[in-house]
Amino acid sequence: MKQSVIRVDGANGLVGSDVPFYEFGDASAGPTVSLMAGVHGCEYAAMSGLRRFLDELDESTLRGRLRVIPIANLASFHSRTAFVVPHDGLNLNRCFPGRADGSFTERLAFALFEEAIRTADFHIDMHSGDQVEALEPFSIYDASSVEEQSRTLGVSYGLPYLLRSAQSESPIAGTSSAAASQIGIPSITAEAGGRGLIDDASVQAHVDGVRRALSHLGVLAETTAPIRTPVELSHWVWLRSAGSGWWASSVEAGEEVGAGAIVGTVTSLDGREVREVTTPEAGIPLFLTTSPAVEENGLLLGLGIR
Query: Which region, judged by CB under 5 A, interacts with Zn ion, from 4-12, 35-43, 101-109, 255-263?
Result: 35-43
CB of 128 to Zn ion, least distance (A): 7
Cα gap 294→69, rounded to integer Å: 32
Please tell me whether residue 213 adopts helix, strand or coil conformation.
Answer: helix
Which residue number, 57 or 109, has a Cβ lying nearer to Zn ion?
109
Is residue 68 within 8 A of residue 35, CB to CB? The reply is: yes
Please identify, using beta-carbon distances, which residue of 24 and 141 lies nearer to Zn ion: 141
Mask for 192-231, x = binds Zn ion (CB under 5 A): ----------------------------------------
What is the closest distance, in whole angstroms, from the C-beta atom of residue 90 to Zn ion in the complex? 14
- Is residue 40 involved in binding Zn ion (CB under 5 A)? yes
Residue number, 179 or 219, with CB nearest to Zn ion: 179
- Return the number of the residue (39 or 217) whose C-beta is nearest Zn ion: 39
Shortest distance (Å) from residue 61 CB to Zn ion: 29
Q: In the chain, which ranges are continuous DSSP H helix?
A: 44-56, 74-79, 104-112, 147-157, 176-182, 200-216
How many residues contact Zn ion, by CB under 5 A? 3
Q: Between 107 and 127, name the residue whose CB sits nearer to Zn ion.
A: 127
Q: What is the maximum alpha-carbon separation in the chain? A: 66
31 vs 137, which CB is nearer to Zn ion? Answer: 137
Given the rule CB under 5 A, which of 56-64, 122-130, 148-156, 274-282 is the region that contacts Zn ion?
122-130
CB nearer to Zn ion: give 135 or 207. Answer: 135
Exposure string (b/e) for 82-120, b if CB count within 10 Å is 16 or more?
Answer: bbbbebbebbbbbbbbbeeeebbbbbbbbbbbebbbeeb
* Per-position b or e across 165-199, b if 16+ CB within 10 A of its CB: beeebeebebbbbbbbbbeebbbbbbbbbbbbeeb
Binding segment for Zn ion (CB under 5 A), chosen from 38-46, 145-153, 158-166, 252-260, is 38-46
Residues in 66-105 at the binding interface with Zn ion, rule: CB under 5 A: none
Phi, psi of 125 (to 5 degrees): -110, 115
Using CB under 5 A, which of the segments 125-133, 146-154, 206-214, 283-291 binds Zn ion? 125-133
Pick the piece of the chain touching Zn ion (CB under 5 A) from 37-45, 63-71, 97-105, 236-244. 37-45
Residues with Cβ within 8 Å of residue 95, at least 6 apart in sequence: 102, 105, 106, 108, 109, 174
Rounded to the nearest whole angstrom, what is the least distance from the CB of residue 39 to Zn ion in the complex? 6
In whole angstroms, give the CA distance from residue 301 to residue 283: 11
Q: Are strands 133-135 and 17-25 parallel, antiparallel or unpaired?
A: unpaired
One-letter amino acid at 240 equals R
- Binding residues (CB under 5 A) for Zn ion: these are 40, 43, 127
